[in-house]
Amino acid sequence: MQRHLVERELTDAGPGRGAPVRGGRSVTVNLAESPLTWLHSRGHLSDAQLAAGECLRRDYERAQLSAGVTMRWDPVRVKGGGADSGLNQTERQIAARQRFDGAITAAGPGLSDILWRVVCACEGLPQAERALAWPVRSGKLVLRIALDRIAGYYGIT
């Protein structure tokens, strides 16, 4: 599994959208950890498709659409940079939810299912194809089309 470990520079606004964090910090990333990075590391997704998927996942997580298990103790105002600077936690959550909903709408009917399952729920393509009752090996093509559509929504070329 060592061959899938790479160093990535931290940014303040997500993949391809922000400046490196002060101090030049980096993290080790396991490319086989998520279905998107696994597909990208094997040449099945373009850089733009990966970036679009990561933007969708970031908005999904920031909108807190998955189940929560604890109370938040964040202060009302959080200082910092990024697209949502100057907003409190609730405002950032609402803005992320609006971006997420816009991206899902941009993907169009029939494509949002595979996006949610693979990008947000981190299901593998075989599991997503079975859950959606799709033919084997059809998910990759549909996922690529969906990622191309949301890349346009996020302005990624």
DSSP 85-147: TT-BHHHHHHHHHHHHHHHHHHH-TTTHHHHIIIIIS---HHHHHHHTTPPTT-HHHHHHHHH
Average pLDDT of the residues of the chain: 82
The conformation of residue 14, written as its DSSP 8-state character, comes to S
Q: Packing angle between helix 89-107 and helix 139-154, nearest 10 degrees? A: 130
Domain that holds residue 30: 2-154
Q: Specify the higher pLDDT residue, 19 or 129.
A: 129
Is the pLDDT at 149 greater than 50? The verdict is: yes
pLDDT of residue 112: 94
pLDDT of residue 78: 45
Is the pLDDT at 140 greater than 90? The verdict is: yes
The answer to whether 119 and 20 are in contact (CB under 8 A) is: no
pLDDT of residue 69: 67
Is the pLDDT at 71 greater than 70? The verdict is: no
With cut-offs at 50, 70 and 90, classify the pLDDT of residue 21: low
pLDDT of residue 4: 67
Q: What is the pLDDT of residues 83-129, one digit of tens each?
A: 555 678 888 889 999 999 999 999 999 899 999 999 999 999 999 99
Number of domains the chain is built from: 1
Is the pLDDT at 137 greater than 50? The verdict is: yes
What is the amino acid identity at position 41?
A: S
How far is it, in rounded angstroms, from Cα 134 to Cα 142? 10
pLDDT of residue 119: 95
Is the pLDDT at 3 greater than 70? The verdict is: no
